Amino acid sequence: METFDAIYGRRSVKHFDPGHIISTEDETKILEAAIQAPTSFNIQHWRFVVVKDPQKRTQIRELGNDQAQMTDASLLIIMTADVHAWKKEPNRYWKNAPDAVRELLVNWMGPFHEGKEWLQRDEAQRSIGMAMQNIMLAAKALGLDSCPMIGFEIEKVADLISLPDDHVMGPMIAIGKKTEEPWDKPGQLPLEEVVFTDSF
């Protein structure tokens, strides 16, 4: 599928075929596409919890306003991120870079993040967002559909997946085969309303 076709064709699907199984190969392709997303300092904060246990999926649905896609979709990925990834063996993020580049960026990570909890969290959530878009476009390119979701009890789902203390929760994504066509896009704002040149 062409890139622009995937972008314009991606929709938030609510009804999935519970009998459809995504191949291991396609699941891997989707996750490999996710980690091609950019991150600040190449920190790669994202951590993906692929929920396969049917009982756990049912519990998540109970914590998620009974959204059927949480159990019916072929794949459920909970997006999380490590907010302290910047200080965990940072050399590994630049292992293939020239020595001078690696030294510069690794040494800059500490001063950039230290003592700025708001920045650490913001960077982690930005990374989640970019990886999510890659996941949804990769799924569309494979002929699958997806639905990003934030309508769930975040703290309880975090407990259910044993989220580490230094990680944050993001949305989750349901992926699978749709059984109903989504409604038309409810209305995109015109570029004139959202794009500015040089300043507001």
What is the distance of C-alpha 9 from the center of its chain?
A: 18
**Residue 192 in domain:** no
In the chain, the percentage of residues whose pLDDT exceeds 70 is: 100
Nearest to 67 by CA among 7, 147, 161: 147
Residue 16 — φ and ψ, nearest 5°? -120, 155
Under a CB-based contact definition with an 8 Å cutoff, are residues 77 and 60 in contact? no
**Residue 116 in domain:** yes
Per-residue pLDDT reduced to its tens digit, 37-75: 999 999 999 999 999 999 999 999 999 999 999 999 999
H or E segment at 168? strand 167-176
**Residue 44 in domain:** yes
pLDDT score, position 60? 98
**Residue 190 in domain:** no
pTM of the model: 0.94
Nearest to 78 by CA among 175, 177, 170: 170
Domain span at 70:
3-181
Q: Which two tokens stand for residue 124?
A: 């982690």
User: What are the E-state strand segments in 32-102?
Assistant: 46-50, 75-82
| Strand partners for 49 | 78
Q: Is 156 helix (H, G, I), strand (E, B) or coil?
A: helix
Q: Which residues contact 3 (CB under 8 A, 6 or more apart)?
A: 137
**Residue 82 in domain:** yes
| Cα angle: 136, vertex 137, 143; to 5 degrees | 95
Residue 185 clears pLDDT 90, i.e. is over it: no
pLDDT score, position 177? 97
Q: What is the count of structural domains for the chain?
A: 1
Nearest to 171 by CA among 137, 138, 131, 144: 131
Neighbours of 3 (CB within 10 A): 9
Residue 152 sits in a domain whose CATH number is 3.40.109.10
**Residue 132 in domain:** yes
Under a CB-based contact definition with an 8 Å cutoff, are residues 40 and 81 in contact? no
**Residue 195 in domain:** no
Round to the nearest angstrom and report the end-to-end CA distance of the chain: 36
Provide the pLDDT confidence category of residue 25 given band limits of 50, 70 and 90: very high
What is the distance of C-alpha 193 from the center of its chain?
A: 27
